[in-house]
A and B are shown apart, each in its own frame.
Chain A
C-alpha cells in the first residue's frame, strides 16, 4: 500500500496517545501498590519516594483476601469447566447437524447474553430466596447458586466461539472416525475435541475471566462466607479511610491469574472472539 508521508507521524501520535492512555492506570496501580500508606494519602507522586512491599503483606490481614480468593477460584473454575463442557456438546450439534430449531436455538442463546443483568437479578434473587424457604435448597448466598448463574453467562459466547472452531475442523475427520466404528459422540470425543483443544482452552479461560470479574450478581447473591473478590475488595475502604496502597496491591494480585492466562492464550482467544463477528 502506498503511504502518504504524514502517515507514520499520524500513526505514532495516535498509537502513542492510546499507549499512554492504556498505560497510565496500569502504572498508577503498580507504583501505588509499593508505596507506604502515608505516601498515598497526600499529593500524588509519579515516582515513589519510599518503596515498601508491606502492602502486599498487609492485604491478607486487612480483609480475609485468601478466603475471597479461594471463593472466586472455586466459583470461577467450576463455572468455567461446567460451562465449556455444556458448550462443547451444544456447539458440536450446531456445527455438525442441521436440525429444525437450530437457528432459533443459536439466536435465542446468543440474545440472552445481550439483555441487562438487572432484568434477571431481581427475579433470580426472589427465586433463590423462595426456593430456600419452600424446599430447603439454599441457593441464595451459596457458591452453587453463583456457579449456576455464572456458567450461563459465559455459555452463549462459549457456544458461539466453539461453533467457529468446530466448523474449521474438516468433517472428513469425524467421518473417518465413524467409519472406524465410533458413534458421533465417539467422534466428538476422539477427534473433534483433541483437534479443537487450543480453542477449548481459550474458551475455558474466557469463561473463567467472565466469572472472575462479575460484580452485579456477586454483590447480591453472596454472604460473608461465600463472598468473591469482586465484592471483597470493597473491604479496603472503611468509613474513615481508604487503604489505597493495599487496594492497588490487591487489585494487582487478583488480576495476575486472568491477565497471565489471557496473555498466554491471546492468539487463540483473539481468533475465537473475532471469528463469529467477522463471519
Chain B
C-alpha cells in the first residue's frame, strides 16, 4: 500500500546495478575517473533527501517511544518530574499495578479498555457501513452528486473541536436540540435525560464520533468504487446479473483491498481517539465513555504518576501491535486465497 515494488524506468539508474549505464550528466564514456564520485553521490542522494524526515521522526516519535518504555520502569511521581534522573527504579511495579484487576488502578484500566473495545467495534462498524452505503449509492452520476459529496466531507474538514463542541451543546439537558426533539417535539420520552453524564454518555460519544469520522470512510470508499472498471458491470449485466448480484459479486469483492486499509486505519484512530471525549466531556469523562487515551491522560496528569501512565501506554501499544499483526495476517491470507 505504501510502495509498489515494480521498478520504474527512472529508478533503475540509481539502484547501483553493475550493468546500469553511466549517469548521463556524468559526461561521455571517456571520463571514467569522473564517474565514480558522481555515482557515489547518486547512491548517497536518496539518503540525503530522506535525512531530515528521519531525524524528525527519530526525535519526536522513536526516541520518545524508547524513553516512554524506560519511564514505565521508573517510579516517576510528581517529585521527580523536573529531575527524572533521580527517579528510583520501579522494576515491574507499574505493570503489576496496571494488570492487577482487583486493585483500583488495574480495575479502572480494565473497565476503560472494555469500554474502548465496545466503542471501537461499534464506531468502526457504523463508519464503514455509512461510508459504503453512501459510496455505493452515489455510484453513477445524478444531479446534485457534487454538492452532496462536499456536504458529506464538511464534518471531516471542520476542526475536530468545533464539531464536537456543537454536539456537546446539542446534548445539553435543558437547552439542547436532542432533548428538544425527543421530549418536546416527538414526546418519545417524558423526562429529559442527561446525555453527557451517566450511561447515555456512551451513545452521545458514539454519535458524535461517527458524525465526525464516517466521511473519511466515505471518501476512500468512493474513490475505490470509482476505480472499479465499468466493463465488469456491463459484462455481468449481459449475463443477466441484477443490482444486488452486482453489488455482492463485483462491488464488494473489488473493494476488499480498500476495505482492508480503511478498517485498519479506522480501528487505530478510533481506539486511540482522544479529541472527541476530551472536548465532549472536558477533563473528566464519565466512566461509561472513558476511552483508553483519556484514561491514561487523566491518570497521568491528575495523579502526576508518569511511570504508571507510561506503563499503560506501553501495554496499549503492545495490544495495538498484536491486533494489527493478526489483522494483517488474517486479511492478507484471505486475499491470497480468494
Contacts and interface: CB of A to CB of B under 8 A. Distances in A.
Interface stretch (A52-60, A170-178, A193-201): A170-178
A174 B162 contact: no
Given A15-B137, A107-B2, A152-B57, A178 B184 contact: no
Tell me which of B5, B49, B272 has the highest count of chain A C-beta atoms within 10 A of its own C-beta: B49
Nearest to B176: A44
Contact of B2 (A127, A160, A262): A160
A80 interface: no
B49 A126 contact: no
B265 interface: yes
Interface in A61-105: 86-87, 89-90, 92-94, 96-99, 101-103, 105
B155 interface: yes
B220 A273 contact: yes
Contacts of A122: 68, 71, 300, 306, 309-310, 313
Interface string B140-177: 10100000101111110111111101110110101111
Contact of A1 (B57, B222, B233, B261): B233
Contact of B71 (A94, A102, A126, A274): A126
Nearest to A31: B177
Nearest to B2: A106
A41 interface: yes
A255 B159 contact: yes
B151 A44 contact: no
A155 B56 contact: yes
Q: Interface majority SS on A: helix, strand, loop or mixed?
A: helix
B237 interface: yes
Given A98-B7, A278-B258, A118 B297 contact: yes
A258 B152 CA distance: 16
Contact of A266 (B3, B68, B153, B324): B153
A136 interface: no
Given A18-B152, A126-B306, A274 B223 contact: yes
Contacts of B237: 1-2
Interface stretch (B28-36, B77-85, B90-98, B101-109): B77-85
B43 interface: yes
Contact of B157 (A97, A248, A251, A263): A263
Contact of A43 (B180, B223, B306): B180
B256 interface: no
Interface residues of A, number: 112
A24 B177 contact: yes
Contacts of A255: 158-159, 162
A86 B52 CA distance: 6
Tell me which of A107, A151, A213 has the highest count of chain B C-beta atoms within 10 A of its own C-beta: A213
Nearest to B279: A215
B227 interface: yes
Contacts of A93: 45-47, 49-50
B64 interface: yes
B117 interface: no
Contacts of A270: 153, 219, 223
A216 B157 contact: no
B237 to A, nearest CB: 6
Given A106-B2, A277-B223, A90 B64 contact: no
Tell me which of A15, A151, A183, A212 has the highest count of chain B C-beta atoms within 10 A of its own C-beta: A15
Contacts of A233: 161, 165
B258 A277 contact: yes
Contact of A263 (B65, B71, B150, B297): B150
Nearest to B15: A98
Given A2-B242, A259-B158, A97 B223 contact: no
A179 interface: yes
A47 interface: no
Contact of A99 (B47, B52, B278, B310): B47
A181 B67 contact: no
B169 A244 contact: yes
A99 B46 contact: yes
B315 to A, nearest CB: 10
A1 B140 contact: yes
A5 to B, nearest CB: 10
B223 A18 contact: no
A26 B313 contact: no
A102 B279 contact: no
A215 B174 CA distance: 28
Contacts of A94: 3, 46, 50
A1 B246 contact: yes
A19 B148 CA distance: 7
Contacts of B46: 93-94, 96-97, 99, 102
B293 A15 contact: no
5 contacts: A14-B134, A25-B166, A40-B175, A116-B317, A123-B65
Interface of A: 1-4, 7, 10-11, 14-15, 18-19, 21-26, 28-29, 32, 40-44, 86-87, 89-90, 92-94, 96-99, 101-103, 105-110, 112, 114-124, 126-127, 129-130, 133, 148-149, 151-152, 155, 159-160, 163, 167, 171-172, 174-175, 178-179, 181-185, 209, 212-213, 215-216, 219-220, 229-230, 233-234, 244, 247-248, 251-252, 254-255, 258-259, 262-263, 266, 270, 273-274, 276-279
Given A258-B158, A278-B224, 14 more contacts: A1-B140, A2-B242, A4-B242, A14-B134, A29-B162, A86-B53, A99-B43, A112-B57, A116-B320, A118-B296, A119-B64, A122-B71, A215-B161, A216-B278
